[in-house]
Amino acid sequence: MPSIRAAVCRRHGDLSIETLTLDDPAAGEVLVDLAASGVCHTDYHFYAGEHEVPLPVVLGHEGAGTVETVGAGVERVDPGDRVVLSLLPSCGHCEYCASGRPYLCPTALDVRFTGTLTNGERRLRDDDGPVNHFYAQSSFASQAVVTEESVVPIGDHVPFEIAAALGCGATTGIGAVFETAAVAPGERVAIFGCGGTGTSALLAAAAVSASEVVAVDVDERKLDAARESGATVTIDASDNDPVEQIESLGGVDYAFEFVGHDDRVREQAIAAVDPGGTVVLSGAAREDASASLASVIGAGKTVVGNVAGSVRPLVDVPRYAAMAARGDLPLGDLIDDSYGLADAEQALDDLVSGAATKPVLRYSERLRGDVSRTG
């Protein structure tokens, strides 16, 4: 059993870098030597106690690395393969998987916040007993044991920090454009919220040759970055009514919302899209969140939720990775990769403050190689 280094959350608002024991992979499981992990607002919500997860827990759900060993019966990967840890592992045989919608598979939805892997097991432990997993992976650590369903093989051509971002945030934004909405060349798009996920959607809209890409935010730094990433128009919503501004431009066919906690932004996205247009909601909304249906019904608009970009991980994640490697999706421009494992709390703070667009923890060769065997 390896001893690993991990950022452990034992109480809300605090992470400690500790040595934990990681069980060897059992049948159907994979041990991954992690090279990087993206840092996402979802991690922050649970770190801050805004949502509940069993403690102690190792957070992180955007891991990327190399397979070290596999348990009996594993067929998807071999030792040495480079992989992304999937946000929503799927079973492959339920009605959702069979109909091409693995992102709705209950395999992952049922265990995201229970503290276990998809098979119900815990593989992390300290001297007092089991330590909980997050999203069935826990990537704020030097290594992870996950079930086979959680690993997505990728090629050797993609840097690990970009691969990590494709574990959740970037994939959610890209997939919102490519899969959920299926934006076509020449169509007009508005992006509400230009953090890492929103900027990924912006890059995707530019990649499909949208004729207008409008970026809406209240942070001038993010709007500056949006212009560099291909936005044709930027709107500072702190000084302007984005709905009026978008209408003055001639309207949009699609509005994408990536804020979540602000009902007003959701209403603006719904109001901004033209009659017959589509609104894609991706932000993590509160349970009591509401939206007006009057303009939806009266104008024939479509409002759709975006679950993990509606992606088929085994197909779409490698495709997005290849596009990033070719420069068609320049994800490297939005990634802040100056953080190590010990900087996990700073990365979370910088993400929430807006000081970083997409923080990625990079694990050094020394850290990843400093693994002892016990038992």
Query: pLDDT band at 374, cuts 50/70/90?
Result: very low
pLDDT at 148 over 80: yes
pLDDT at 277 over 70: yes
Mean pLDDT of 18-42: 95
Q: Which domains does the chain have, with CATH numbers?
A: 2-153+340-373 (3.90.180.10), 170-308 (3.40.50.720)
Query: pLDDT band at 286, cuts 50/70/90?
Result: low
What pLDDT, on the 0 to 100 scale, is given for residue 126? 94
Q: Tell me: the pLDDT tens digits for 287-321? A: 555 556 655 655 778 898 888 899 999 999 999 99
pLDDT at 369 over 70: no
pTM of the model as a whole:
0.89
Q: Which of 111-115, 213-217, 361-365 has the lowest mean pLDDT?
A: 361-365
pLDDT at 206 over 90: yes
Mean pLDDT of 74-81: 95
3-class SS letters over the chain = CEEEEEEEEEECCEEEEEEEEECCCCCCEEEEEEEEEECCHHHHHHHCCCCCCCCCEECCCCEEEEEEEECCCCCCCCCCCEEEECCCCCCCCCHHHHCCCHHHCHHHHCCCCCCCCCCCCCCEEECCEEEECCCCCCCCECEEEEEHHHEEECCCCCCHHHHHHCCCHHHHHHHHHHHHCCCCCCCEEEEECCCHHHHHHHHHHHHCCCCEEEEEECCHHHHHHHHHCCCCEEEECCCCCHHHHHHHCCCEEEEEECCCCCHHHHHHHHHHEEEEEEEEECCCCCCCCCCCCHHHHHCCCEEEECCHHHCCHHHHHHHHHHHHHHCCCCHHHHEEEEECHHHHHHHHHHHHHCCCCEEEEECCHHHHHCCEECC
What pLDDT, on the 0 to 100 scale, is given for residue 254? 96
pLDDT at 118 over 70: yes
What pLDDT, on the 0 to 100 scale, is given for residue 349? 94
More confident residue, 290 or 217: 217
Mean pLDDT of 307-336: 91
Percent of the chain with pLDDT over 90: 67
pLDDT at 324 over 70: yes
Q: Tell me: the pLDDT tens digits for 55-70? A: 999 999 999 999 999 9
Mean pLDDT of 347-375: 71
